[in-house]
Amino acid sequence: MSTRIGILTSGGDCPGLNAVIRGVAKASYELMKDVEIIGIIDGYRGLIQGEYKLMKKSDFSGILTLGGTILGTSRQPFKQMRVIGEDNVDKVKAMKDNYKKMGLDCLLILGGNGTHKTAALLAEEGLNVIGLPKTIDNDLYGSDVTFGFHSALDIATEALDRLHTTAASHGRVMVVELMGNKTGWLTLNAGIAGGADVILLPEIPFDMDKVAAAVQKRANSGKAFSIIAVAEGAMEKSEPTKRKERLAARSAAGFHNISEKIAAAIIQKTGCETRVVIPGHLQRGGAPSAYDRLLSTQFGAYAAHLIQEKKFGVTVAKVGNTITQNKLSDIAGKAKLVSPDDQMVQVAKSMGISFGD
Amino acid sequence: MSTRIGILTSGGDCPGLNAVIRGVAKASYELMKDVEIIGIIDGYRGLIQGEYKLMKKSDFSGILTLGGTILGTSRQPFKQMRVIGEDNVDKVKAMKDNYKKMGLDCLLILGGNGTHKTAALLAEEGLNVIGLPKTIDNDLYGSDVTFGFHSALDIATEALDRLHTTAASHGRVMVVELMGNKTGWLTLNAGIAGGADVILLPEIPFDMDKVAAAVQKRANSGKAFSIIAVAEGAMEKSEPTKRKERLAARSAAGFHNISEKIAAAIIQKTGCETRVVIPGHLQRGGAPSAYDRLLSTQFGAYAAHLIQEKKFGVTVAKVGNTITQNKLSDIAGKAKLVSPDDQMVQVAKSMGISFGD
Amino acid sequence: MSTRIGILTSGGDCPGLNAVIRGVAKASYELMKDVEIIGIIDGYRGLIQGEYKLMKKSDFSGILTLGGTILGTSRQPFKQMRVIGEDNVDKVKAMKDNYKKMGLDCLLILGGNGTHKTAALLAEEGLNVIGLPKTIDNDLYGSDVTFGFHSALDIATEALDRLHTTAASHGRVMVVELMGNKTGWLTLNAGIAGGADVILLPEIPFDMDKVAAAVQKRANSGKAFSIIAVAEGAMEKSEPTKRKERLAARSAAGFHNISEKIAAAIIQKTGCETRVVIPGHLQRGGAPSAYDRLLSTQFGAYAAHLIQEKKFGVTVAKVGNTITQNKLSDIAGKAKLVSPDDQMVQVAKSMGISFGD
Amino acid sequence: MSTRIGILTSGGDCPGLNAVIRGVAKASYELMKDVEIIGIIDGYRGLIQGEYKLMKKSDFSGILTLGGTILGTSRQPFKQMRVIGEDNVDKVKAMKDNYKKMGLDCLLILGGNGTHKTAALLAEEGLNVIGLPKTIDNDLYGSDVTFGFHSALDIATEALDRLHTTAASHGRVMVVELMGNKTGWLTLNAGIAGGADVILLPEIPFDMDKVAAAVQKRANSGKAFSIIAVAEGAMEKSEPTKRKERLAARSAAGFHNISEKIAAAIIQKTGCETRVVIPGHLQRGGAPSAYDRLLSTQFGAYAAHLIQEKKFGVTVAKVGNTITQNKLSDIAGKAKLVSPDDQMVQVAKSMGISFGD
């Protein structure tokens, strides 16, 4: 009897999606007698609207190094996950109906936190779901690392490298805003790897005076330039805790990003020439790094084993050196955040890096 | 008798500055008996304030690949070049005095258009000046190419490559704003090399409807994504010609950059999901490319020959395949702009790229 | 009436082949009413054996950045071009027959020197041929630059960069053998860009004692490491001029490559620890550089114009800044070699680089 | 009272050495009141000959990204570690004497397996030694990962990527020989990440017929090209187990490397066009990757804590996600090898990769 596997990729694109898809496919064809793979188009949108295609073996050739996703992706289907209102009920029904119409034995869902919430919901509703932890933010609960993170880290680190030469030549402060609205893993790691002098994270609210003092201290010691790596979701201690209020207050002061606010404060407090750089979507594009290709291939192969063993309602994870699984119901709705006591934060501090705290 | 050579780097930093400095130094030591090289700190600022150091031979080792400038740089010394007022007279006098105090036989000045204006002025005032054409904008009059341009082109092209994967996965329009206030060489070349669908330049004012139409045409033919490469100085036909007025009008409409204005219009006119990316200073940082190392070394070696032949009041240039020289008085105050008839514009159009004109 | 264009890629693969193919196709579709493009498989082999396919417009999408060639390639069809013997006559006849069978209006041939010899022959035989100058060796007569050269230069330069750190850490001599059997353009340019201390080219036979002396001189001045960039076709003054004899003599002495022979001599003459690295095919793989994408696109667009104007029997070239054409009969069988008086050789010497001459 | 820390780097150079040195230095200055750091020149050679220098704080600035080692390195001091003969006794005595003369409180030794044997010996002899696990081979016993490994992995993977395009264009088999005499971690991981079709490791002797069969199977299914990643220390089942005998037998057959032997066999058994590439020292040069900068910084900071706590006779290790320590006496003389049951080997097999076993 054949096994019919559906795959969809959801949320922001990220390097490694195609490597995971290839890993699942190759290992499934290898492990199981008779496998059919259905590619669902543009994430949950395709599941809701019944848009999909039967994949051929050759579709999975040559995609290991390909950035983005060959299946397309879209943002989350539900605006408010907690309240499953009229509209959402319809969407869930449509997804279940299409799952049946496609004759799926299981559904593999590649995505981040939001995607996993929906995946957990579909599992509760009786679908055979397996999640795969994708995000450059690295904040998926229960996995030490997610695919995409190391590729983004390489890009962000290279950006910091480049800015070092221009900062040093001009004696400038460069404020580099990296991706990460709720979590600072990318900024923390890229900051250390890229030799930043100040690192500012959503999880560790900062004091602008301390940031300025760190810059001033370097200037006083003859180092005319500083590099500040700031996560887009970083905030001052004095700013409102609620995101909406915080953004409104910033906007009222004429700032669109936290980096602009920091730059203005540095100029005012230290007199140092300061510039802002926001690499933005550059951080999620292009081919996956060697690390991410390995991790993605491992994740994909592991998922194929789960399918073979009919083990559903779980998401693949890496814990220590082991590829393993977590129940979707255990991790959905949670996030893995940077603790101020994290080993990496302590390492950074021992390098003399300021967190402005 | 010894030859005493002063070197300064001025204006925005750019890959290849150190490679030129090394080229001048190595070739001068090789060609002339007795050479002393004076490094002037932070561009014209160091010349005005008399800040400099005697360089050792070893200072020029290992800097071929180094980004930025080992001498430091600063922006132009004069706000208004045309009116040499009280303050400027003092600055010119200080530069001439320090030139004498340092005992220089000549002064090598590495910089772009603004820098060359001042260089021409100093030559008029009797100093033995040689210019070297530095700019990622490639707009120095009289030279087919400037050092720094090809390194920036590589970075900008890689940025476009990265954005292709994310644009394709999400079916998005990506508006990428590249450096170039007055000229679009970088955007034109990176746009073609990076496979952009629309290229917008300061020299070719565009019609927003035509830009939207190009995006729509692709969407209609099943290509859900488009890449728009826009120079920061690009403008609509309908916008004010004067820069100040143009920026004021944009700002009043809530736009900080031309890219944001374009994105808003695309969304409104086509309904396509659209994102803006501004790589900014990433375009001028890091090690010079192989091309720029070769060009910089050629330029530096040529400058050493000019010194040997006591040929001053000129700037080094590349014309066709030949390294040559132009009189500073012939090129100062001029700029090399993209003509709508330029061969590369025509090539781009034959690839189906729209300029919105 | 429709125009039917055949394209083939011949000889060693090289970055930019697909970019040229795309350039020809996009510009042809844009310029001419009704165009059909025939892709001939694996170079002349496909022409001889009549293996080809009708290309779709979509075949040319997304290949600008793709390394290698989507059409496949093979080595030269004739072992001895000068003597058109029985076998060759049959091959030429087969090519002409298939040209007719395919109903071609013209045939675009992308390749290097050997390929162009055959292209010239086919033009003589009455086929409407246009050549396109491909080679990482940059030795095609009549064009200042060929596509593929700058991509290979970037890779070779990066290799030299990497070897600097290991050479410096160990105080070693590194002998790096780069591609180039008959010509040293790649080694000359990569050597300068990568900061080599010695550059050895096929066109400038060297004296092993002088090479060793250059290494020794650096060692004496406290620089324990040296980088020697040698083209695979470089030779000692004392070696036989005829290639076969030279290789036989080397082989008899136990050396497979010139780099091994140099390394053995350096060790014997200077006592310095010495290592050989041969990047080999790494130099021709991967995506084309921004420079090569631009050049390839220009070449392709120009070829489309030639087709439109029914201008055949020529090959596309770049001379100075101009894309132009040469008659195949004028350039076939010739090669562009490095002259010892070449500007770049002189620049290298002024940097203190030894050519062992 | 001040703490005087000696540092030396030994064995083959590798990315991350300077990042570790910087990590130790910055964290030591931060943690302890009064620290002096002694840089010992060229590894154990400098310790034996008493060549060293007092480092300044500024010596550790800007070296995070620098390849190689600022201290220089040399190969192992002892040819036969097991027999401590006359000469070795003298060397050990010299090392102990110089340790005292320098007034060291401890000695940090960065190196691989051989280096750690000597480090364990010096610890036994009463010196306060801390090891740091450096090797691109990743075979240090007791640590899941060593610094340098991931940088080498990135380079080797990029090499495989490049060779894919040339292999595919020509329909060729490419045999890529990667570093790793005793262990295949690098080849295993790069092979998977680079999409190799066959992976051959020292730990899994192979059958040449099975390798040829894997190539033939691909050819039969229409894939004219294959990529074979082989570690330099890989061997056939039929070859002598003893290294000397094996190399002698190969040499007698005219092969200098295992890759050449494989290529000859593939050509003979399948008739496929086959090429060999040996990236060699390119794999250990250049700047460390982001991963290695983080790991090196963590290792360095951890070593500083060990110094502060006067915890000696150990080497730093990463186990799971934890930075920890192993007794030198527990790990010296052992190696971490790839098991045929290793998770990564299984993942590779599930991708259809052949190990020729």
Residues A3-21 pLDDT 10s = 999 999 999 999 999 999 9
* Closest residue on chain B to C298 (Cα): B347
What one-letter code names the amino acid at A161? Answer: D
pLDDT for residue A78 is more than 80: no
- How many cross-chain Cβ pairs, A to B, lie less than 8 Å apart? 110
How many CB atoms are closer than 10 A to CB C108?
29
* Residue C83, pLDDT score: 38
Query: pLDDT, tens digit, for every residue of B240-298?
Result: 999 999 999 999 999 999 999 999 999 999 999 999 999 999 999 999 999 999 999 99
Q: How far is CA D145 from CA A157, C25, D136, D234, D300, in A?
A: 21, 49, 10, 21, 15
Mean pLDDT, residues B31-55 taken together: 95
DSSP conformation class of D39: E
What burial class does residue A253 get, using C-beta atoms within 10 Å of its C-beta: 0-12 exposed, 13-18 middle, 19+ buried? exposed
Comma-separated ranges of CATH 3.40.50.450 domains in chain A: 3-148+288-331
Q: How far is CA B253 from CA B37, C332, D47, in A?
A: 52, 62, 69
Q: In A, which residues are within 8 Å of B9 by CB distance? A: 169
Q: Using an 8 Å Cβ cutoff, are D187 and D206 in contact?
A: no
* Closest residue on chain C to B301 (Cα): C347
* Residue C75, pLDDT score: 77
CA–CA min distance B116, chain C (Å): 24
pLDDT for residue B151 is more than 50: yes
Mean pLDDT, residues B132-154 taken together: 98
SS3 B4: strand
User: Which segment of B200-214, C14-28, C162-176 scores lowest on mean pLDDT?
Assistant: C162-176
Closest CA to A69 of A17, A109, A110, A25: A17
Comma-separated ranges of CATH 3.40.50.460 domains in chain C: 152-284
* Residue A74, pLDDT score: 87
pLDDT for residue A85 is more than 60: no
SS3 C229: strand
- Tokens 């390839």 correspond to C296
Closest CA to B168 of A18, D177, A57, C160: A18
Using an 8 Å CB-CB cutoff, list residues of chain C that contact chain D: 9, 12-13, 15, 17, 42, 66-69, 72-74, 155, 159, 161-166, 168-171, 174, 256, 275-282, 284-286
CA quadruple A336, A340, A343, A349: dihedral positive or negative? positive
Q: Read off the pLDDT band of D79 (50, 70, 90).
A: low
* Residue D195, pLDDT score: 97
- Helices (DSSP H) in C271-350: which residue ranges? 290-308, 328-331, 343-350
Does the A150-284 domain belong in CATH 3.40.50.460? yes
Q: Which residues are D315's β-sheet partners?
A: D131, D326
Enter the ipTM: 0.96
A137 is catalytic: yes
Q: Using an 8 Å Cβ cutoff, are C200 and C178 in contact?
A: no
Separation between Cα atoms, residue C194 and residue C353, nearest integer Å: 12
Q: Which CATH architecture has domain D149-284?
A: 3-Layer(aba) Sandwich (3.40)
Q: Using an 8 Å Cβ cutoff, are D119 and D1 in contact?
A: no
What is the average pLDDT value for chain D, to the nearest integer? 95
CA–CA min distance D343, chain A (Å): 9
What burial class does residue C56 get, using C-beta atoms within 10 Å of its C-beta: 0-12 exposed, 13-18 middle, 19+ buried? exposed
pLDDT for residue C87 is more than 70: no
Query: pLDDT, tens digit, for every residue of D44-78?
Result: 999 999 999 999 999 999 999 999 999 999 876 76
Please tell me the number of Cα atoms within 13 Å of A270 on its side-chain side. 28
* Residue C82, pLDDT score: 41
Q: Does A162 sit within 8 Å of B286, measured CB to CB?
A: yes
Comma-separated ranges of CATH 3.40.50.460 domains in chain D: 149-284
Q: What's the CATH code, domain B151-284? A: 3.40.50.460
Q: Using an 8 Å Cβ cutoff, are C306 and C312 in contact?
A: yes
* Residue A83, pLDDT score: 38
Does the C152-284 domain belong in CATH 3.40.50.460? yes
Total residue count of chain A as it appears in this document: 357
* Closest residue on chain B to C164 (Cα): B62
Nearest to D320 among A23, A298, A321 (CB): A321
pLDDT for residue B85 is more than 90: no
SS3 A193: helix
Q: Pick the residue of C163, C305, C347, C349 with the most B CBs within 10 A to test the interface with B by mutation.
A: C347
The CATH classification of domain A3-148+288-331, taken from the options 3.40.50.450, 3.30.360.10, 3.40.1410.10, 3.40.50.460: 3.40.50.450
- Contacts of residue D211, Cβ cutoff 8 Å, sequence gap at least 6: D198, D200, D228, D262, D265, D266, D354, D356
CA–CA min distance A49, chain D (Å): 32
- Contacts of residue B62, Cβ cutoff 8 Å, sequence gap at least 6: none
Put residue A226 in one of left, alpha, beta given phi > 0 → left and psi -120 to 50 → alpha. beta
* Closest residue on chain A to B274 (Cα): A281
Separation between Cα atoms, residue C178 and residue C277, nearest integer Å: 9
Q: Does D256 sit within 8 Å of C74, measured CB to CB?
A: no
CA quadruple A302, A303, A307, A312: dihedral positive or negative? positive
pLDDT for residue A80 is more than 50: no
- One-character DSSP codes across A278-327: B-GGGGG-SPPPHHHHHHHHHHHHHHHHHHHTT--SEEEEEETTEEEEEE
Mean pLDDT, residues C33-60 taken together: 96
Q: How far is CA B108 from CA B9, B35, B128, B293, C67, in A?
A: 9, 14, 9, 18, 42
* Closest residue on chain A to D324 (Cα): A343
* Closest residue on chain A to D32 (Cα): A350
Q: Does A195 sit within 8 Å of D65, measured CB to CB?
A: yes
DSSP conformation class of C147: B
What burial class does residue C139 get, using C-beta atoms within 10 Å of its C-beta: 0-12 exposed, 13-18 middle, 19+ buried? buried
Using an 8 Å CB-CB cutoff, list residues of chain B that contact chain C: 23, 26-27, 30-31, 64-65, 144, 150, 153-154, 157, 161, 189-190, 192-195, 289-291, 293-294, 297-298, 301, 304, 320-321, 323, 343-344, 346-347, 349-352
* Residue C77, pLDDT score: 73
> What are the percentages of helix, strand and coil residues in chain A, rounded to 5?
45, 20, 35
* Cα dihedral A285/A287/A289/A290 (nearest 10): 170
- Tokens 């082949």 correspond to C17
pLDDT for residue B304 is more than 60: yes
Q: What are the φ/ψ torsions at residue D6 (nearest 5 degrees)? A: -95, 145
Mean pLDDT, residues B163-191 taken together: 96
Separation between Cα atoms, residue D287 and residue A164, nearest integer Å: 15
Q: Does B347 sit within 8 Å of C290, measured CB to CB?
A: no
Separation between Cα atoms, residue B263 and residue B175, nearest integer Å: 7
| Active-site annotation of B, residues | 137
Q: Which two tokens stand for residue D290?
A: 């982001």
pLDDT for residue C143 is more than 50: yes
CA–CA min distance B30, chain C (Å): 6
Separation between Cα atoms, residue B305 and residue A21, nearest integer Å: 60
- Tokens 């492990």 correspond to A31
Q: How far is CA B99 from CA A32, A350, B44, B123, B133, in A?
A: 81, 46, 11, 12, 21
From A137, A139, A154, A197, the catalytic residue:
A137
Separation between Cα atoms, residue B257 and residue B209, nearest integer Å: 18
- Can you list the positions of beta strands (E) in B114-233? 129-133, 173-178, 198-200, 226-231
Q: Using an 8 Å Cβ cutoff, are B162 and B227 in contact?
A: no
pLDDT for residue B82 is more than 50: no
- Contacts of residue A254, Cβ cutoff 8 Å, sequence gap at least 6: none
pLDDT for residue A325 is more than 80: yes
CA–CA min distance D241, chain A (Å): 31
Q: In D, which residues are within 8 Å of C155 by CB distance? A: 162
Q: How far is CA A314 from CA A107, A328, D265, in A?
A: 11, 5, 47
Using an 8 Å CB-CB cutoff, list residues of chain D that contact chain C: 9, 12-13, 15, 17, 42, 66-69, 72-74, 155, 159, 161-166, 168-171, 174, 256, 275-282, 284-286
State the maximum Cα–Cα separation within chain A, in Å, rounded to a whole number: 74
Separation between Cα atoms, residue D282 and residue D159, nearest integer Å: 10
Closest CA to B295 of C56, A36, C343, C335: C343
Q: In C, which residues are within 8 Å of B31 by CB distance? A: 350
How much of chain D exceeds pLDDT 70, in percent?
A: 97
SS3 C149: helix
Mean pLDDT, residues D82-96 taken together: 74
Q: Read off the pLDDT band of C325 (50, 70, 90).
A: very high
* Cα dihedral B315/B320/B323/B325 (nearest 10): -30
pLDDT for residue C81 is more than 50: no
